[in-house]
Amino acid sequence: MRKKILGSLIFSVIALAAVVVVNFFLPRIMPGDPVYTLIGGEDDYVTQEEYDYYYQLLGLDKPVSEQFGDYLRGLFTGDLGYSYHQGGDVADVIAEKIPVTLQVALPAMIISALIAMLWGLRAGSSKSRMLDRFSTGFNIALNSVPTFFMAMLAVIIFAYELQWLPYGGLNSVIPPDDPFLYFLDRLTHLVLPVGTLVAVSTPAKYVLVRNMAAKEQEAKYAVFAQAKGLSGARVRIVHVFSNICQPFIALVGTGFGKMLSGSLVVEMIFSLDGMGTLVGNAVTVRDYPTLQGCLFVIAVMVIVANFATDVLCALSDPRQRLGEAYE
Q: Hey, what domains does the chain have and what are their CATH numbers?
A: 1-89+288-327 (no CATH), 98-273 (1.10.3720)
Using pLDDT thresholds of 50, 70 and 90, give the confidence band for residue 179: confident
Sign of CA dihedral 12, 13, 15, 16: positive
Share of the chain above pLDDT 90, in %: 2
Alpha helices in 217-287 (DSSP H): 220-227, 232-234, 241-254, 256-269, 275-285
Sign of CA dihedral 280, 167, 102, 147: negative
Q: What is the mean pLDDT of residues 119-143?
A: 81
| Cα–Cα distance for residue pair 210/247, rounded to 1 Å | 12
Phi, psi of 88 (to 5 degrees): -175, 175
Residue 34: partners with Cβ closer than 8 Å, 6 or more residues away: 58, 60, 285, 286, 287, 288
| Cα–Cα distance for residue pair 285/287, rounded to 1 Å | 5
| Cα–Cα distance for residue pair 141/162, rounded to 1 Å | 24
Residue 222 · residue 130 · CB < 8 Å: no
Residue 188 · residue 166 · CB < 8 Å: yes
| Cα–Cα distance for residue pair 72/197, rounded to 1 Å | 34
In this structure, the number of other CB atoms found within 10 A of the CB of residue 252 comes to 22
* Overall pTM > 0.75: yes
Predicted local distance difference test score (pLDDT) of residue 43? 56
User: Which strand (E) or helix (H) includes residue 217?
Assistant: none
Model confidence pLDDT, tens digit, residues 57-84:
777 778 888 888 888 888 888 788 787 7
Q: What is the mean pLDDT of residues 36-48?
A: 64
Q: Which of 195, 208, 242, 243 is nearest to 116 (CA)?
A: 208
Collapsed DSSP state (helix, strand, coil) of residue 59: coil
| Cα–Cα distance for residue pair 205/116, rounded to 1 Å | 6
DSSP letter string, 74-97 = HHHHT---EETTTTEEHHHHHHHH
Model confidence pLDDT, tens digit, residues 106-120:
899 899 988 988 888
Cα-based torsion angle of the residue sequence 140, 143, 149, 155 in order, rounded to the nearest 10 degrees: 80
